[in-house]
Amino acid sequence: MNNLFQKLVNLDRRYIYILVSLAVIIPLLYPLYIEINISPAVQNVYDTIESLPPRSVIFLGMDFDPASKAELYPMAEAILRHAFRKNLRVIGMTFWVTGTGLGEKAFADIAKETSREYGEDYVYLGWKAGGTSLLILMGEEGIPSAFPVDHYGKDTASMPVLENAKYLKNIDYLVELAAGSTLGSYYYYGKLKYKFKMGGGCTGVMAASWYNLMKIDWINGFLGGLRGAAEYEKLIKMSDKATKGMDAQSVTHMLIIMMIILCNIAYFIGRAKANQTKGGNNG
């Protein structure tokens, strides 16, 4: 038994990688359908979008890149699905140049799925340099001034999707999907002055700190990591990648918890044994 614990403490990390890989791959191949509970933070985002009347305008900030795609892309898809089903208008843009293509793909795929029309129901502004200056420009001079042409080079001023929604103050709800610090930009240079409602989604790494932002009313709710995306998929009754991923997530977490407990037991037993030997030698 002691030998087994000793081996556990000195386990080659590659075995751990294999175990984690199996814990991820097997549930993806054979889903367990573990129950997902909805948290108030996610419910708030859903309720806000649900309460908007048809043709209201949502602004979707898609500030992520391929490195954070696994967590934030399913959120983008779920929110777009919800908005398009509710016949809302959506304006999308990104501050992350490396995420431009992801935003474009999410809009194109979900618009096709829900039969939405470009320019009429949604517009993808894409990426443009300028950072916070762009937000100030969108607030003061209007969205067509900041983006005279959209991601595809089309003239934005005449688009029906922007009718009565040319300025940030006209936005009914802004959802910021952030893998970095762009939520602060939207808040300081947007919401603070133009008073629109704001919600969001973030990577798991950032989720703990976003509860604080909810507490101080920067946002009214948020989707944290893959779990947040899965909760939203459950709310819109359309299980997709995030829901399937949650099984793998739960199994992996169980594995990690078990390994932490086992290795700690092994470590303490090993230490007690070493102390005993030391005491015996001294005696």
Partner 1 sequence: MDSSALIGIWIAAGLTLFMYSSLYKDNPFFRFGEHLYLGLSVGYILIRVIYSNFIATLYVPLFEERDYWLIIPSILGISLYTRFFSKLAWISRITFAFLIGFGSGLGIPRIIAGGVFQQIEKIITPLGTQLTPFEYFSGILIVIGVFSVLIYFFFSWEHKGLVGGVSKVGIYFVMIAFGASFGYTVMGRMSLLIGRCYDLIDYSSSKYYYATIVLLVVIIAVLAVYELVLKKKEQPKT
Q: Which is nearer to partner 1, 56 or 249 (CB)?
A: 249
* Shortest reach from residue 162's CB to partner 1, in Å: 19
Fill in the per-residue mask, 113 to 152: x = in contact with partner 1 (CB under 8 A), - = not in contact. Answer: -------------xxxx--x---x------------x---
Near partner 1 in 156-215, by CB under 8 A = 184, 187-189, 192, 203-209, 215
Which of 247, 203, 207, 213 is closest to 63 using CA atoms?
A: 203
Residue from 81, 89, 116, 227 touching partner 1 (CB under 8 A): that is 227
Return the DSSP state at 191. I
Fill in the per-residue mask, 20 to 59: x = in contact with partner 1 (CB under 8 A), - = not in contact. Answer: xx--xx--xx------------------------------
* Shortest reach from residue 190's CB to partner 1, in Å: 10
Fill in the per-residue mask, 63 to 102: x = in contact with partner 1 (CB under 8 A), - = not in contact. Answer: ----xxxxx-------------------------xx-x--
Structure tokens at 121: 């129901």
Near partner 1 in 252-281, by CB under 8 A = 252-253, 256
* Shortest reach from residue 36's CB to partner 1, in Å: 14
Tell me the site size for partner 1, rule CB under 8 A. 51
Residue from 86, 244, 262, 270 touching partner 1 (CB under 8 A): that is 244
Q: Which is nearer to partner 1, 83 or 183 (CB)?
A: 183
Cβ burial of 93 (10 Å; 0-12, 13-18, 19+) is buried
**Binding-site ranges for partner 1 (CB under 8 A):** 14, 17, 20-21, 24-25, 28-29, 67-71, 97-98, 100, 126-129, 132, 136, 149, 184, 187-189, 192, 203-209, 215-218, 224-227, 241, 244-245, 248-249, 252-253, 256
